[in-house]
Amino acid sequence: MGSTIKCGMNIFKWFRSQPKVTNKASTQKFLPPIVVKSDTSVKLKPSQITHPSLTPLGYWAKPDQGPRLLVITGAGLSAESGLSTFRDNDGLWKKYNIDEVCRINSWERNQKQVHEFYDALRGIANQSKPNGAHHALASLNGPDVVVVTQNVDGLLEKAGAENVLNLHGRLDRLQCMACDSQWNVPWLYQASALPQKCPFCSVPHKVKPGVVFFGEPAPLYRGFHNLIFGLRPQDAVVVIGTAGSVLPLRLLLANCQANKWLLNKDPSPDLPANMFDNVVYGNATVLVPELVEWWREYSKTA
């Protein structure tokens, strides 16, 4: 089984010095690639956002392509940019009641308070800057790398990352619950300042923040699951800065044959070390640039 290393020992150099990772492909049948069509069914309207198409799969769908990297990130990726995580001792859910600001029925019950909460988060995100971990991931832009994030702060895109799937939406978006349109708003937008009406269907009081609340569907989850199920033994999946309390990663990664990495500040009961090939605990700004170096070398030789 893989190695659990406390940060400080450089696992990436250790890993590079090890005999080549046995390419499990020899023992494992390739998983048939699962192509997820981008959502072309949505009738596009001016400045309307469709759910980001899974275009990277165009490359991922061809079984003879080289190794691919799936990165799955959470709030820990942005912690060193000054943004609160959710479940750490100083996390958001220690200061705010999740039931009042992050559930679909709480939004229906008290739209102004919910908009005020996300207006505040949008303003804080607007002042934050991508850190070294965001920039390191952005430096991997290419058809072989997809970055999935649970974060809604837009910092990966601010760092220049392209193939980003925002599983839980983005703070600089609003969404209409009547016609399901989504649209961008400025980072300083204050949705709580005036009654919201959908610019597409004009229905009033049905506009919510463009982030996924508990209790409502997450449209990108199916495509995300297919990305994991399409991973092959020569690919890699890296989980960074998440407690794993919301995405069922233990289940999703159970049969994944790719090289599995966990880079996290602290252990999490929802992400036991023995489900990964390599586990490194430490700060994302230290670990992610190292991981990126490892991937550059590994992906050339795999």
Give catalytic residues, as residue numbers: 168
DSSP letters, 152-206, are -S-HHHHTT--SEEETTEEEEEEEETTT--EEE--TT--GGGS--B-TTT--BT-
Nearest residue to 125 via CA among 82, 73, 180: 82
**Residue holding tokens 């996924």?**
212
Give residues 147-176 in contact with ligand APR (rule: CB under 6 A): 150, 168
Q: In what order do the strands lie in the sheet with 259-264?
A: 3-6, 278-281, 259-264, 236-240, 69-73, 145-149, 164-166
> Which residues from 6-65 bind ligand APR, rule CB under 6 A?
none
114 touching ligand APR, by CB under 6 A: no
Give the single-character DSSP code of 149: E
Verify binding: residue 103, ligand APR, rule CB under 6 A.
no
Q: Are 73 and 291 in contact (CB under 8 A)?
A: no
For ligand APR, which residue of 106, 111, 259, 283 counts as binding (CB under 6 A)?
Answer: 283
Nearest to 167 by CA among 208, 217, 117: 217
Stretch that binds ligand APR, among 86-94, 111-119, 181-189, 190-198 (CB under 6 A): 86-94
Contact between residue 247 and residue 72 where contact means Cβ atoms under 8 Å apart: yes
268 binding ligand APR? (CB under 6 A):
yes
Choice between 21 and 286, CB closer to ligand APR: 286
Binding mask 221-260 for ligand APR (x = CB under 6 A): --------------------xxx-xx--------------
Q: What is the CA radius of gyration of the chain?
A: 20
CB of 93 to ligand APR, least distance (A): 6
For ligand APR, the binding residue among 91, 123, 199, 219 (CB under 6 A) is 91
Q: Which is nearer to ligand APR, 230 or 282 (CB)?
A: 282
Please report the beta strands in the chain, taking only residues with DSSP state E, as ranges in sequence order.
Answer: 3-6, 69-73, 145-149, 164-166, 169-176, 182-184, 207-211, 236-240, 259-264, 278-281
Q: How far is CA 107 from CA 209, 236, 244, 251, in A?
A: 9, 38, 25, 30
Residue nearest to ligand APR according to CB distances in the complex: 76
In terms of CB distance, is 209 or 233 closer to ligand APR?
Answer: 209
Q: Is 76 in the site for ligand APR (CB under 6 A)?
A: yes
Q: How far apart are CA 266 and CA 269, in angstroms?
A: 10
CB of 260 to ligand APR, least distance (A): 16
- The single residue among 166, 182, 264, 278 that binds ligand APR, judged by CB under 6 A, is 264
Nearer Cβ to ligand APR (4/245): 245
Residues binding ligand APR: number (CB under 6 A): 23
Q: Which residues lie below 8 Å from residue 58, measured CB to CB, with a gap of 6+?
A: 143
Stretch that binds ligand APR, among 9-17, 202-210, 226-234, 265-273 (CB under 6 A): 265-273
Measured from the CB of residue 133, what is the shortest distance to ligand APR in angstroms? 7
Contact set with ligand APR (CB under 6 A): 74-76, 79-80, 85-88, 91, 150, 168, 241-243, 245-246, 264-266, 268, 283-284
